[in-house]
């Protein structure tokens, strides 16, 4: 049994830092943790903050320091997990396909051949618990120590100090300002910081983030944005701020800086504007409920400190004249006076309710209150509303700036690199650590897999290099054709003409694929509200059960789609299809009708095509988890499993769970159900090989999935099959939220079927 993790990392980065082969792998089907330079018995108890204090000119900002212990623990869980299987310890690179060269959105971090990063333990006598005081006491010796970073207990430097070892300490003396006490500082060597230590990438990221600050970029949330290069879109009352997501990590041989071009929508209206508009629209109704529905979940920017917060509630019992106690001296003060004294801001509206934001756990551990009260007048909304997303013109306007061609994206990346290389402060920041950023994006070897042959009802055809076989349906039959004899079409009366055109087109394209479609029973509704569709569906489905129901919607509306699917999946189960009317009258109406016909055929038991699999006895499984924001604490797991060799028939199941244990149990139970269904359809035989694609797993959850979910599944398989070796299991964790961008010849996207398994991949994963 083999455990794979299939993942594309955010950040990938000549001799260069970390240019060492991957460590030896873990035992079969288990994970191991890579040793850190400082073991638990070498470090003092206390807060394990990221390396954030630097001597000389590299004092880290408060935005980087003080993350708390949980962040470090999370880093250890995610980055030090070695899930690379034993059989690919020497090499995980494949050989099939045609070799090509790609570029990626990474820059190498260059260093001298003998570059190293050393970790030292720092002790204070008498003991000093306050990290900020520790940093100040050590900073007095920056000329002697040279460049360093210090997190309160561990110090990192490229300097190997004379007569300092694990047993012999360097002793320094400082005077504490508060009581003029003489403090002895002892510095001992812990060892070279290896690429397996969580502080290793942290060190590089601190340097990179300081470089971004030197470029006068603005930190909004976790990313930096260029407010000076903002793009104003006045007709929609918002600005678009271009920015950069950066991440530095150890990759196969090098430390790479990954850079992704990003954008932030900054609306020009405050939360007070939104509340006022909502108040006016809800007159006579539940005003407070309407206001909460409008702003809860919105992320806001507070310009006075450039912080972002997610709004969790509105407190209508508080306003800017309400008071709270200052932590430093317990003095009562009004919010109005606080903002004027602290920021010189005068609040105009004295009756506005206060917004409530729940601070993240790391801030609460740092001693901050759980709830933060914000003034609507001082909060600007960020991001797009659902209404904005359905505005085709707005989204098209936005796409002209955010959807970059590969060539434009590389130009933007190189421009960003040039800004870093030409700024004296950034160059100094890197050079004092004997580091340099490469001037060009990284090049990587890749392979393009040979296209598979598709099996149709009357022919075989290559999937082609472009992975587009739509035109083949002009002469190809569907592999399994059904007859759609009884179906109902629901359409708003004002677009009935589009409905008749759609029916004509879909019958015509169906004939070419040997999919026989009869005329539907057309039911007209007065308007296109979600309620109208739900009521009409109830009237129809309470008297008859057609093969399929098709609803045409005049606009792209989530509530209409949800109403149709709820009625047809839960209340009155029947296959359903939702179609947008704008697609029926477009230039590609026939092509769209072809794709809709293929879907309809599948939903009533047919199949469009298959692939000529050479592997018999194979079951492919997909599993994902949905976190429902409306039901906190309850998640839903969905699974599909193939039931035939052609991969055209599937078993599916959905289950709710409130804990990881429930998810693990439900997954195993549903897998057994799928296997029994497979046996029923294959003459009593179970599959001999199972490949599971597992989505919805964060890095920190991989140990749990491996130790519990996979083990529980193995036990269930052994019980069903009689012996564990009767079936081979491949478990693949899929990570989709990535910032990796690949380019071919610097101006194109990679061809379909491209595989990248070197340079930018993680040395401790099978990715």
User: Looking at beta carbons, which pairs linking 497-500 to residues 24 or more positions away fall under 8 Å?
Assistant: 498/552, 498/581, 498/584, 498/585, 499/552, 499/584
Please enumerate in sequence order all residues whose Cβ is within 8 A of that of 662, keeping only pairs 6 or more positions apart, or say none: none
423 is catalytic: no
- List C-alpha distances in Å: 287 to 281, 282, 313, 541, 627: 9, 5, 14, 37, 29
Tokens representing 243 are 């920015």
CA dihedral 15, 17, 18, 21 (to 10 degrees): 0
- Catalytic residue, from 337, 423, 695, 758: name it: 695
* Tokens 């729940």 sit on residue: 358
d(CA 69, CA 77): 13
Residues forming a β-bridge with 333: 324
d(CA 549, CA 572): 11
Please enumerate in sequence order all residues whose Cβ is within 8 A of that of 62, keeping only pairs 6 or more positions apart, or say none: none
Count of CB atoms situated within 10 Å of the CB of 456: 19
Residues forming a β-bridge with 6: 734
Cis peptide preceding 126, ω within 30 of 0? yes
- Catalytic residue, from 59, 226, 391, 624: name it: 624
> Which one, of 609, 645, 648, lies nearest residue 513 by Cα?
609
699 is catalytic: no
End-to-end CA distance of the chain: 17
For residue 200, the SS3 value is: helix
For residue 555, the SS3 value is: coil
* Chain center to CA of 327: 36
d(CA 182, CA 184): 7
Tokens representing 53 are 């204090």
Residue 347 φ then ψ, to 5°? -90, 125
What b/e sequence results for 495-526 when a residue is b if at least 16 CB atoms lie within 10 Å of its CB, and e otherwise?
A: beebbebbbebbbebbeebebebeebeeeebe
Residues forming a β-bridge with 642: 650
Tokens representing 373 are 């009260």
The sign of the CA dihedral 580, 581, 582, 588 is positive
For residue 464, the SS3 value is: coil
> Which one, of 409, 107, 418, lies nearest residue 262 by Cα?
409
Count of CB atoms situated within 10 Å of the CB of 16: 20
Tokens representing 673 are 């159900």
d(CA 532, CA 529): 5
For residue 742, the SS3 value is: strand
Beginning with the edge strand found earlier in the chain, give each strand of the sheet holding 635-642 in spatial order: 2-7, 728-735, 689-694, 618-627, 635-642, 650-657
Nearest 5 degrees, angle CA 289-CA 293-CA 294?
Answer: 120
**Catalytic residue set:** 624, 695
């Amino acid at each position: 049994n083999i455990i794979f993790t299939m993942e594309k990392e955010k950040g990938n980065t000549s001799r260069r830092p970390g240019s060492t082969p991957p460590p030896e792998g873990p035992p079969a089907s288990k994970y191991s943790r890579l040793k850190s330079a400082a073991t638990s018995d070498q470090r003092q108890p206390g807060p394990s903050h990221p390396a954030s204090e630097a001597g000389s000119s590299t004092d880290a900002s408060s935005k980087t320091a003080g993350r708390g212990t949980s962040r470090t623990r999370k880093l250890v869980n995610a980055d030090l997990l070695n899930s690379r299987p034993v059989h690919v310890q020497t090499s995980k690179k494949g050989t099939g396909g045609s070799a090509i060269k790609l570029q990626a959105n990474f820059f190498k971090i260059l260093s001298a051949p003998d570059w190293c990063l050393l970790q030292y333990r720092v002790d204070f006598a008498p003991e000093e618990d306050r990290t900020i005081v520790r940093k100040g006491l050590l900073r007095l010796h920056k000329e002697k120590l040279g460049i360093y970073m210090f997190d309160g207990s561990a110090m990192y430097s490229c300097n190997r100090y004379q007569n300092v070892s694990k047993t012999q300490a360097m002793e320094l003396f400082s005077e504490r300002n508060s009581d003029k006490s003489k403090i002895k500082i002892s510095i001992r060597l812990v060892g070279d910081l290896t690429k397996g230590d969580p502080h290793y990438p942290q060190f590089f990221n601190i340097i990179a983030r300081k470089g971004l600050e030197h470029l006068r970029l603005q930190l909004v949330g976790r990313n930096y944005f260029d407010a000076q290069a903002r793009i104003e879109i006045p007709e929609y009352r918002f600005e678009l701020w271009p920015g950069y997501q950066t991440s530095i990590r150890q990759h196969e041989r090098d430390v790479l800086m990954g850079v992704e071009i990003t954008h932030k929508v900054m609306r020009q209206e405050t939360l007070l504007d939104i509340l006022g508009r909502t108040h006016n629209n809800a007159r006579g109704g539940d005003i407070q409920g309407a206001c909460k529905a409008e702003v809860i979940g919105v992320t806001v920017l507070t310009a006075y400190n450039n912080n972002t917060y997610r709004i969790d509630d509105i407190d209508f019992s508080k306003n800017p004249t309400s008071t709270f106690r200052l932590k430093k001296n317990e003095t009562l003060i009004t919010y109005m006076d606080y903002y004027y004294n602290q920021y010189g801001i005068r609040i105009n509206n004295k009756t506005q309710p206060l917004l409530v934001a729940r601070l993240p756990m790391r801030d609460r551990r740092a001693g901050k209150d759980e709830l933060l009260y914000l003034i609507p007048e001082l909060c600007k909304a960020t991001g797009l509303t659902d209404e904005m997303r359905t505005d085709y013109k707005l989204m098209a306007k936005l796409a002209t700036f955010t959807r970059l061609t590969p060539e434009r994206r590389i130009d933007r990346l190189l421009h960003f690199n040039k800004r870093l290389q030409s700024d004296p402060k950034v160059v100094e920041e890197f050079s004092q650590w004997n580091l340099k950023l490469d001037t060009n994006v990284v090049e990587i070897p890749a392979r393009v897999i040979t296209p598979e042959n598709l099996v149709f009802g009357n022919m075989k055809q290559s999937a082609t290099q472009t992975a587009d076989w739509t035109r083949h349906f002009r002469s190809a039959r569907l592999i399994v054709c059904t007859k759609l004899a009884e179906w109902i079409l629901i359409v708003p009366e004002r677009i009935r003409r589009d409905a008749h055109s759609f029916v004509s087109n879909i019958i015509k394209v169906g004939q070419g694929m040997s999919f026989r479609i009869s005329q539907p029973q057309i039911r007209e509704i007065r308007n296109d509200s979600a309620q109208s569709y739900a009521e009409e569906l109830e009237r129809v489905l309470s008297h008859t059960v057609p093969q399929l129901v098709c609803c045409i919607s005049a606009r792209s509306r989530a509530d209409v789609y949800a109403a149709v699917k709820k009625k047809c999946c839960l209340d009155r189960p029947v296959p359903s299809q939702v179609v947008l009317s704008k697609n029926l009258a477009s230039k590609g109406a026939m092509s769209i009708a072809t794709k809709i016909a293929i879907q309809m055929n599948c939903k009533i038991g047919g199949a469009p095509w298959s692939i000529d699999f050479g592997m018999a006895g194979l079951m492919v499984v997909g599993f994902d988890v949905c976190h429902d924001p409306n039901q906190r604490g309850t998640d839903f797991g969905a699974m599909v499993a193939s039931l035939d060799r052609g991969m055209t028939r599937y078993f599916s199941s959905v289950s709710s769970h409130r804990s990881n244990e429930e998810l693990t149990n439900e997954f195993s139970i549903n897998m057994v159900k799928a296997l029994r269904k497979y046996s029923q359809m294959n003459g009593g035989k179970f599959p001999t090989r199972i490949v599971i694609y597992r989505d919805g797993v964060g890095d920190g959850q991989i140990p749990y999935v491996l130790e519990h979910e996979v083990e529980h599944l193995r036990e269930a398989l052994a019980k069903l099959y009689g012996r564990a070796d009767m079936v081979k299991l491949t478990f693949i964790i899929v990570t989709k939220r990535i910032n990796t961008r690949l380019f071919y010849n610097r101006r194109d996207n990679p061809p379909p079927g491209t595989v990248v398994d070197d340079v930018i991949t993680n040395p401790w994963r099978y990715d």
